[in-house]
Structure 1
Amino acid sequence: MASPTPERADKFSNEEELEMELKEPLLEEEDTALPTPVQATAPKPKPKLSAAAIIPVWIVLSLSVIIYNNYLYNTLNFKFPVWLVTWHLTFATIGTRILQRTTPLLDGAKDVNMTKEMFIKSILPIGVLFSGSLILSNTAYLYLSVSYIQMLKAFTPVAILLISWTFRIQEPNKKLAMIVLMISIGVALASHGELRFNLFGFIIQAAAVAFEASRLVMIQILLHGLKMDPLVSLHYYAPVCAAINLVILPFTEGLEPFYELARIGPLILISNASVAFLLNVAAVFLVGVGSGLVLTLAGVFKDILLITGSVLIFGAQITPLQVIGYSIALAGLILFKTSGEFQVL
């Protein structure tokens, strides 16, 4: 059989990579301090767990991280998102290196030839976007409800497509344009129905979506063809992002969060970072257990549970207009991820 031409092989590779990136809410976006670990192509690990076993674990961990972070910010009044993100990334830096030495979970790192040039030209700029996404998405919890933030995050695939079309990474077509319009209308209705709308919080979350979408598109441009599962990605990006955040910390929150650590206590801080880290471990198994449709539906179910939990646990108020708007956005999201329409140039 004849080998595919370089142009065809490149197109096929790009399609696979962008499709994997657009499967999220998969590994999140979760505005955990460790959302959606960076990944280019999606090599499927060989998990010993079934989808029925790992998907509920992933859902529980996803919900736990977001609710736990919100509890820290708004119930315990620890309003230091930059510090918390930095702590989670530092914990992940240590955790991935321990796993690399004691388990086969990071064997994929052996396949990555990390050169100085790759680090400076690819890892570092993507790390800057990753840090921006993490800090902004966590800061949004100081101003917006968990339920409303989840509704706004439904716009992320639209932002990815708009950026991809702008840089001609993706071929636009009428069907995708209609799906984009559908998601946009749904998010707009959800925003219009928000009872506790905060303009500054909305701008912060919109910026977080823009940073996250830009990060995913930049992965397409700079790391296309490089195989990194979620945990391997975290292994490389966590120390970079932690260092970037340490530079930002003195200019944003200063020493104040350190004075609050005794009040919060080591048990809460360590358990919070541990849950976020376990979410990324679960993600390694998750990407190999089901089809794109199964994972998409699992993500939608998780978001619905999260919004319901936000109402029950934190007393968040949602209106019928928000329910309608978010339902439209989710329907558009499912149509997009199951349409098979996008074609990468």
Structure 2
Amino acid sequence: MPPVVKSALAYYVRAVAYVSLWAAASVTLVMANSYAIRVDEFEFPMTISMCGPLLTFLVALVAVLSGHTKLTRRMTAGEYARTMLPVGVCTAFSLAIGNALYLYFEVSSVQLLKAFSPVVTGGMLVALGMDVVTAPKLCGVVMMTGGTALACSGMTEFSVVGFCIVLGGELVEGSRMVLWQHVLKTKKMPMIEGLLYYAPAAFVFLATGVAIFERDAFSESENSRKLSRKPHLYLGIGVLGALVSVGTVGAIQICGSLTFKALAQVRNAVIIFGAVLFYGDDLTIREVCGYVVTLSGFTLYQYYRTQEDMREIRATGYDAIGEGEKEGLLAKQKRGQ
């Protein structure tokens, strides 16, 4: 099989694997978080969010200590503060804000409000010179923007505080995606190594927030009983959070942060359907039409973005498939010569 074909096949296989892992884990996590906050009335979003980074760090640490993954670098304190600390802080904010929204909106409404996220991420990538604007991709982004605006205009519930939290969350989430793409691709950092470095920062920041704002999660007996009555729920949320982190980093490493955020719109459609089916959330015709337009914009954008990736693979033969695969392919080519 020609090297270029192998590169393209590896690209698709890895992309589908990581996106599938992320999609399955994140859909389940959203439903579990909503259940814990809205149904079980454990109204402590930072405490719930804290479990994911902790288990992510433990998984990455085991991978390193077992010899499965070898660290490629030793970060200085200054380098860590410039690269991984911002990623961890943005992740902590993003997780906490994402769960806090369930205090103000139903599951379906939260996903509709998050549909604007690809536009924010795309704007940041273009502003930082990490992506280029083309007419077809711009058309897709415009459709996503218009569809989101139409969907949100049909919402039957509205909270000014919740909406402000959404806007702040979109900016933080966009920053997180761009920072991850910069670390993984510009710094050539392997996925497990990135998880090992970022997770402690996210956990410490969330733990600090819990100590300041959510001490009642552990100090009040009623809240402690909720944790002890359903330990499988809260442990499961932590495991799902770790799986989402692995899928997120893997997908960003291969597909890019904007494509990843665009893919989130498809996942959101599944979440909205599940919320209507299991939680009885209400949807208006305007919301459904707006989301259809958003998904159509995503499809258009993703088609042309994939074409760009394939042109890069055909031009380089291997550069788009990652540093490890690149080294392996080069070695095989040398042996063939």
Q: TM-score range by the shorter chain?
A: 0.7 to 0.9
Match status 1:63 vs 2:27: yes
Structure 2 unaligned spans of 5+: 1-9, 310-337
Match status 1:87 vs 2:51: yes
1:336 to 301, 324, 336: 301
Match status 1:319 vs 2:280: no
1:96 aligns to what? 60
1:248 aligns to what? 209
Range 138-147 or range 283-292, more displaced: 283-292
Question: CA contact under 8 A between 1:129 and 1:214: conserved in structure 2?
Answer: yes
Q: What's the CA shift for 1:65? A: 0.9
Q: What's the CA shift for 1:80? A: 0.2
Distance change in 2, residues 1:261/1:234 (3 Å): farther
Q: What's the CA shift for 1:312? A: 1.0
Match status 1:125 vs 2:90: no
Range 180-189 or range 261-270, more displaced: 261-270
Equivalents in 2 of 1:119, 1:212: separation in Å? 20
Equivalents in 1 of 2:131, 2:253: separation in Å? 25
Question: CA contact under 8 A between 1:170 and 1:342: conserved in structure 2?
Answer: no
How many residues align structurally? 294
Equivalents in 2 of 1:91, 1:121: separation in Å? 24
1:202 aligns to what? 163
Describe how 1:177-256 pairs up with structure 2 within 5 A. 177-219=138-180, 224-256=185-217
Considering only CA atoms, is the larger Rg found in Structure 1 or Structure 2? 2
Equivalents in 1 of 2:285, 2:13: separation in Å? 43
Question: CA contact under 8 A between 1:164 and 1:170: conserved in structure 2?
Answer: yes
Q: What's the CA shift for 1:56? A: 5.8
TM-score (normalizing by structure 2): 0.74
Distance change in 2, residues 1:124/1:296 (3 Å): closer
Distance change in 2, residues 1:242/1:258 (3 Å): farther
Describe how 1:294-313 pairs up with structure 2 within 5 A. 301-313=266-278
Structural RMSD (CA): 3.6
Q: Give SS of 2:141's match.
A: helix
Distance change in 2, residues 1:124/1:100 (3 Å): same
AA at the equivalent of 2:41: N
Question: CA contact under 8 A between 1:163 and 1:217: conserved in structure 2?
Answer: yes
Distance change in 2, residues 1:236/1:143 (3 Å): same
Distance change in 2, residues 1:285/1:172 (3 Å): closer
Question: CA contact under 8 A between 1:186 and 1:327: conserved in structure 2?
Answer: yes
1:263 aligns to what? 226
Question: CA contact under 8 A between 2:93 and 2:169: conserved in structure 1?
Answer: yes
Q: Percent identity over the alignment?
A: 24
Deviations 1:233-252 (A, max 9, x none): 32211111111122222332
Equivalents in 1 of 2:146, 2:168: separation in Å? 19
Deviations 1:167-225 (A, max 9, x none): 44444444444333211111111101111222221221221111011222334556652
Equivalents in 1 of 2:57, 2:201: separation in Å? 9
Equivalents in 2 of 1:142, 1:134: separation in Å? 14
Q: Give SS of 2:188's match.
A: coil
Q: What's the CA shift for 1:92? A: 2.4
Range 165-174 or range 127-136, more displaced: 165-174
TM-score (normalizing by structure 1): 0.73
Greater percentage in helix? 2
